[in-house]
A and B are shown apart, each in its own frame.
Chain A
Amino acid sequence: GEDVEQSLFLSVREGDSSVINCTYTDSSSTYLYWYKQEPGAGLQLLTYIFSNMDMKQDQRLTVLLNKKDKHLSLRIADTQTGDSAIYFCAERSGNTGKLIFGQGTTLQVKP
């Protein structure tokens, strides 16, 4: 079945780059997403990538997709303390609206 896996925790120093990784199992995934959740808040859509792309850049965010290995990553350049949050990877299968989420990676940014 569909499954999305992420590491649970990442700690970086302010100003460094952060790389959050995700693997998925559904080869029919059409879109892959990164969401950010701050404490007590909803999920904020950061970016998404269509499955026929291998890279997307948006300001400090770079998404890399390796479709062969079913591996997605989110790189945050010049990480700031305000980037501390839980980051969720999600996949969308086919033409359904259903998103399958990973368990989330907690990013801790140390000053």
Chain B
Amino acid sequence: DARVTQTPRHKVTEMGQEVTMRCQPILGHNTVFWYRQTMMQGLELLAYFRNRAPLDDSGMPKDRFSAEMPDATLATLKIQPSEPRDSAVYFCASGLVEREQYFGPGTRLTVT
């Protein structure tokens, strides 16, 4: 049963600390997406990659957020420095083609 995995599932950190979230896409999928879910804004696309190349990161605050794919089996989303307004659930999704996106269980981030 192929699934997207994300670590950690929960993260509590203090303002100003660096946060790194990791995602393992489904084996063989060549597109990876990062979304953020909050009560106020709902689901927002932060960034997406095709064949490890970033295609769209217009939804991501560039000054503190960065997304990378060091290899085909790992995507990372980093926040440095973190702020309380970054508190949200961060989802990774992957697909073999962009029309199908399969979501991971999410990382719930709390910044105090």
Q: Do A and B come from one complex?
A: yes
B-contacting residues of A (Cβ < 8 Å)? 30-31, 35, 41-45, 48, 88, 90, 92, 95-99, 101-104
The reply to whether A41 and B105 form a contact with Cβ atoms under 8 Å apart is yes
The reply to whether B48 and A98 form a contact with Cβ atoms under 8 Å apart is yes
The reply to whether B91 and A97 form a contact with Cβ atoms under 8 Å apart is no
Q: A42-B105, A44-B103 are in contact. Are A101 and B98 (CB under 8 A)?
A: no
Tally of A-B Cβ pairs under 8 angstroms: 51
Which residue of A is nearest B41, CB measured? A103
Q: A43-B91, A103-B42 are in contact. Are A97 and B103 (CB under 8 A)?
A: no
B106 within 8 A of A: yes
Q: A42-B91, A48-B100, A92-B98 are in contact. Are A99 and B45 (CB under 8 A)?
A: yes
CA–CA, A42 and B56, complex, Å: 22
Known A97-B101, A99-B101; further 13 A-B contacts with Cβ < 8 A: A35-B103, A41-B106, A42-B103, A43-B93, A48-B99, A95-B98, A97-B56, A97-B98, A99-B33, A99-B43, A99-B45, A101-B42, A103-B42
The reply to whether A45 and B91 form a contact with Cβ atoms under 8 Å apart is no
Complex A-B, nearest 7 residue pairs according to Cβ-Cβ distance, in ascending order: A97-B98, A42-B103, A101-B43, A43-B103, A42-B105, A97-B48, A103-B42
CA–CA, A22 and B26, complex, Å: 29
Distance (Å) between the CB of A107 and the closest chain B CB? 17
The reply to whether B106 and A42 form a contact with Cβ atoms under 8 Å apart is yes
The reply to whether A45 and B43 form a contact with Cβ atoms under 8 Å apart is no
